[in-house]
Structure 1
Amino acid sequence: MKKKLLYFVTLITIILSSCSKNDDPAPDFEEANLAPFSIEFDNIVGDRTFSINNTGSLYTNAAGEKFSISMLQYFISNIKVTTASGKTYTVPQDESYFLINGADRNTRFTKVQVPEGDYTKVTFTLGVDSLRSTMDLSKRTGVLDPAAGGGHDSGGMYWGWNSGYIFFKFEGNSNVISDDVNGDPTGKKQFKYHIGGFGGYSAPTINNIKVITIDLNAAGIAKVRKDRQSNVHLFVDMMKVFNGPNAFSIAAHPNVMFSDYSVNVAKNLAQLFTHDHTEN
């Protein structure tokens, strides 16, 4: 009898212990009941690790062009989460602007607070929305400070001459670039992709803001609870800058900034993000 009782107790213990935190029921959706949540933007290049100044082991795009990367920065903003039943929560805008810097892995997390719940979709903007872009400077602080980073010439993310943000800045070097393209005094053959344009008063014909929605069902929904950090891990593939739906060669377009062709590059940027897994 004692053996049967011991067996029964052991079995119950095993069953209870196998029910991890990931299996707990979703709490009621209450906007005041906030808990930690983050999206991780993990940069890669095709099937390789992302690296700055990778001159010893160059990347190769679909056109067969070898290149190294010297800079990567991009804005992520306006984060929103959605439950399976369609309930949504948008992070307050003042808390929802982030600058991802490829040279600093500590910037890859966008940490916010959302209500406890089970989320099947996340939505965010690649870039800075037109409303915030045109607000008074007192409303554009932190990473949105136009002077942050020493201005455009020192790697900043703002076009002073165009009164707008650079949403995505990607620079590097490739020997396929013609010598007369940028005349760099150091002899480097640099490519530069500075993509912006919010369709506002200064550029009514160019709007390169991209709103990205990621379905989390296949690789793990986000179960946000107060007692733990829920993190959605995304891979961000820089090779798709060249190899996306509007594929192009570095040689043909080594410098793309505020021009009509930037629209083509921006469409590629919408394809950068892939959900790898979710940590709950």
Structure 2
Amino acid sequence: MKKYSLYTLALSILLFVSCSSDDDGTTEELTGSGEISIKYDNGFNGNDLILNTPNSANENGEVITVTRFNYIVSNFRLVNEEGEEFVYPKDESYFIVSQETEEDNIVLPGIPAGKYTTLKFGIGVDQEKYLQGSEGQGDFLAEAEANNMMWSWQAGYKFLNFEGSFTSESVTEPTDFKIHMGSHGSSLDNYKEVTLELPTSVIVSDEIDSSIHLKIDASKILVSSNNIKLSEKSVIMVDEEKSPQIAVNTTEMFVVDHVHNGESHD
């Protein structure tokens, strides 16, 4: 009986220590706010995207040399483990990713402490923002103009500026292409949203900053849900058929590569 009692006591102590240890790892309270940075790592068909360098042929047999690859991302939102959505302040939520200027890292400070499982953002400028007029755009209007992301204020923003040259079986001499996708008034609204489930929750608090690394495949602009052949049309701007197709394809070029947690505040 005495031996049994000692065994029971030892087992109880072991279970108590084990449970206490688990609690320390799972119930630590996250407080304050932190910073999430998002890296847009541009590539092309599985390789790094290097401007002015020919890429391997796509499924259409077109060999593409990219000279410009810029796009607008906006309206960031994060969904936590409880399903609650944090909306990043709209007036601070418009950015240009540019392969030309190597602007590929977006920093979002002031994210409420927590564990987030989903990242959402837009491609382009939504109608609500655009209809605020030139004064409502703030500094972003000048930034877009400086980065070749506007036709004009009346014509609107270029959500995507994708340019270069190509050859194919039927086009043997290098031929320029230009794909400028955006909305045109309210009649042709090409603003789209992207939702990405994270493989690991991204964690932020007053002691932790973290980052999300995205891989982007620019080849999907032409070959994805919709097949766009440059040999059929090499300049696409205001196109009621192909421009919306490119808008859909563009949403499909984003994949989460990994999440990095635990960076301390500087």
Distance 2:143 2:237 in 1: 18
Name the counterpart of 1:108.
104
- 1:76 Cα deviation after fit: 0.6
What's the RMSD between the two structures over aligned residues? 2.6
Structure exhibiting the larger radius of gyration computed from Cα positions: 2
Distance 1:26 1:74 in 2: 39
Q: Is the 8 A contact 1:99 1:143 kept in 2?
A: no
Name the counterpart of 1:54.
53
1:229-240 matches, cutoff 5 A:
229-240=209-220
Runs (4 or more) in structure 1 with deviation over 4 Å come to: 23-26
- 1:137 Cα deviation after fit: 2.1
Alpha-carbon displacement from aligned partner over 1:2-59 (angstroms, at most 9, x marks no partner): xxxxxxxxxxxxx9xxx9xxx664646x8xx32111221111111111111114xx33
Distance 2:233 2:139 in 1: 33
CA separation of 1:193 and 1:147: change in aligned 2, threshold 3 A:
closer
Give the unaligned 5+ runs of structure 1: 1-14, 150-154, 180-186
Alpha-carbon displacement from aligned partner over 1:185-233 (angstroms, at most 9, x marks no partner): xx962111100016xxx341x11111111011xx211111222321111
Q: Is the 8 A contact 1:242 1:249 kept in 2?
A: yes
The percentage of counterpart residues that share the same residue type is 25
1:181-200 matches, cutoff 5 A:
189-197=175-183
Alpha-carbon displacement from aligned partner over 1:136-161 (angstroms, at most 9, x marks no partner): 32221333327731xxxxx5211227
Distance 1:161 1:78 in 2: 20
> How many residues align structurally?
238
Partner SS state of residue 70, structure 1: strand
Aligned mate of 1:96, from 93, 96, 101: 93
Give me the TM-score of the superposition, normalised by structure 1: 0.77
Name the counterpart of 2:192.
210
Give the unaligned 5+ runs of structure 2: 1-17, 262-266
Q: Is the 8 A contact 1:62 1:242 kept in 2?
A: no
Alpha-carbon displacement from aligned partner over 1:67-97 (angstroms, at most 9, x marks no partner): 1000011111100000121111101011111
Q: Is the 8 A contact 1:26 1:118 kept in 2?
A: no
Distance 1:227 1:102 in 2: 32
Distance 1:108 1:24 in 2: 34
Whichever residue aligns with residue 120 of structure 2, its letter is T
Give me the TM-score of the superposition, normalised by structure 2: 0.81
Distance 2:220 2:232 in 1: 16
